[in-house]
Amino acid sequence: MTTNESRPRAAIIGAGPAGFYATDQLLDAGFDVDLIDLLPTPYGLVRSGVAPDHPKIKSVTRVYDKTAGREGFRFFGGVSLGSDITRAELLERYHAVVYAFGTTDDNRLGIPGEDRPGSYPATRFVAWYNGHPDGEEEEFVLHARRAVVIGNGNVAVDVARMLMLEPGELAVTDTADHALPKLAEARIEEVVLLGRRGPAQAAFTNPELRELGELSRADIDVDPAEAELDPLSERWLEEFGDGTSKRNVALLRDYAQRSPTGKTHRVTLKFLRSPVEVLGEGKDGPVIGVRVVRNRIEPDAEGRLRAVPTEATETIECGLVLRSIGYRGRPVDDVPFDYRRGLIRNVAGRVCDEEERPHRGEYVVGWIKRGPSGVIGTNKKDAAETVARIAEDAAAGALNEPANADPDATAEWIAARCPTAVTWEGWLSIDEHERRAGEPHGRPRIKLVKLADLLAAARAGTPARS
């Protein structure tokens, strides 16, 4: 090694929860860490994924701020791996490179009409209301009376709730300013949540499902027949169901007993239905409905309960379809990628080739390592597994051997490649600007959305909006 620094150096690509937990643990393990993100802002999905009406969940950023205050930490925001800098260049400068950039693409249904106007991946809707710079230009059809949300996970619940909250409830959140008036004017009165399997297999967590039954302006509507379990699911729940599934089923049975209370809006849950076509006029006409097939539950070869289509179909009229059926990773630069799983190829966090031979000095954490599952805290354990592998490799002398790990030279290289790179101080300046803007309105912050505004606030430390 041609560096004078005695501490090994790690680059972590992606400043979401997994990136921050890995940073903290690597600092503990004696590394200096450069945390690099595509956006000028840190926190990943905590900023641009967690629903605006869930501020408590967002308060986890206080933990990450503590990490950022530690000796040996640097942040470089607004730097793109693959265009500003490359994988090969990172390996010239760091003993360990850790990919933590999450799963950015949405899964596709692969059905006719999926891309009609009015049918969108939930990821885009979430990015839009959360003020992700990529979502600013989006337009959504919100004048229809009914929306169908496909999928039975927590993202489906988030988007359903965002459509059903009162304008006054949203007005005190950090929902993006461009989305607030559009959501307030939206005419959607009913959201239908569609699960391809039954209540026992729903992926919701209990608090999220409970919240759907406590909305101020929407009744919850579950037909008693929908809450009935088929015999296979009943037995599966009894024998193998975890507490979450059992409580979900109990909650859904409770919802099925409820009568409408006369609220103006409604959330309807339907199960055992898969969309087979998004309907509309001609090839490109806007959405007018979804044709769905009724499913039954059957075990597959491994005994897992899956949805199998029957002959019965029905049409649900609607003008908006949000597809919330999970995410998949996007290959970045030439980082080894498992296209079938949509993840970086790895064994327990060590990036590897097709024969599972590790790539020296390359590691992965979070959703791009294991897939888009679990809650924020799951990433702490996930990072611990990867950091343990890094520590093993350090002890065995098996880390990467960079040609030039000098930290000042690295900072100069990043500044040369990306003159607008935002440091942690730059982020603190954006943060202060956003909080100050939100304060008079009783909001936690008013997010800056345009990249130019974010960069100006990072530089100036004073309000700047274009």
Q: Which residues bind ligand NAP (CB under 6 A)?
A: 107, 109, 150-156, 158, 195-197, 201, 203, 205, 208, 274, 324-327, 372-375
b/e burial code for range 68-98 (CB count within 10 A of at least 16 → b) = beeebbbbbbbbbbbebbebebbbebbbbbb
10 Å Cβ neighbour count for 390? 25
Nearer to ligand NAP, 308 or 428 (CB): 308
As a whole number of angstroms, the distance between CA 277 and CA 243 comes to 35
- Contact yes or no for 121/328 (Cβ under 8 A): no
Instruction: Name the residue whose CB lies closest to ligand NAP.
Output: 153
Nearer to ligand NAP, 321 or 399 (CB): 321
Nearer to ligand NAP, 125 or 327 (CB): 327
Question: What value does the CA radius of gyration of the chain take, rounded to a whole number of Å?
Answer: 24
Detail the DSSP E strand segments found in 53-180: 73-77, 96-99, 105-106, 119-121, 146-150
Residue 247 has phi, psi (to 5 degrees) of -70, -35
* Shortest distance, position 107 Cβ to ligand NAP, whole Å: 6
Sign of CA dihedral 225, 226, 231, 236: negative
For the residues of 322-353, what is the DSSP string, one character each?
EE-S-EE----TT--EETTTTEE-EETTEEE-
As a whole number of angstroms, the distance between CA 58 and CA 77 comes to 19
* Shortest distance, position 83 Cβ to ligand NAP, whole Å: 27
* Shortest distance, position 52 Cβ to ligand NAP, whole Å: 12
* Shortest distance, position 197 Cβ to ligand NAP, whole Å: 4
* Shortest distance, position 155 Cβ to ligand NAP, whole Å: 3
* Shortest distance, position 352 Cβ to ligand NAP, whole Å: 25
Nearer to ligand NAP, 158 or 453 (CB): 158
* Shortest distance, position 209 Cβ to ligand NAP, whole Å: 10
Nearer to ligand NAP, 7 or 296 (CB): 296
Report angle CA 84, 85, 91 to the nearest 5 degrees.
175
> Residue 239 corresponds to which amino acid?
E
Nearer to ligand NAP, 273 or 389 (CB): 273
Burial class (CB in 10 A: 0-12, 13-18, 19+), 421: buried
Nearer to ligand NAP, 329 or 358 (CB): 329
As a whole number of angstroms, the distance between CA 449 and CA 176 comes to 8
* Shortest distance, position 108 Cβ to ligand NAP, whole Å: 8
Residue 80 has phi, psi (to 5 degrees) of -105, 120
Nearer to ligand NAP, 197 or 447 (CB): 197
* Shortest distance, position 394 Cβ to ligand NAP, whole Å: 31
Q: Report the candidate in 100, 96, 77, 69 with the shortest Cα–Cα distance to residue 414.
A: 77
Nearer to ligand NAP, 148 or 422 (CB): 148
- Contact yes or no for 131/48 (Cβ under 8 A): yes
Nearer to ligand NAP, 86 or 107 (CB): 107
As a whole number of angstroms, the distance between CA 23 and CA 76 comes to 13
* Shortest distance, position 222 Cβ to ligand NAP, whole Å: 16
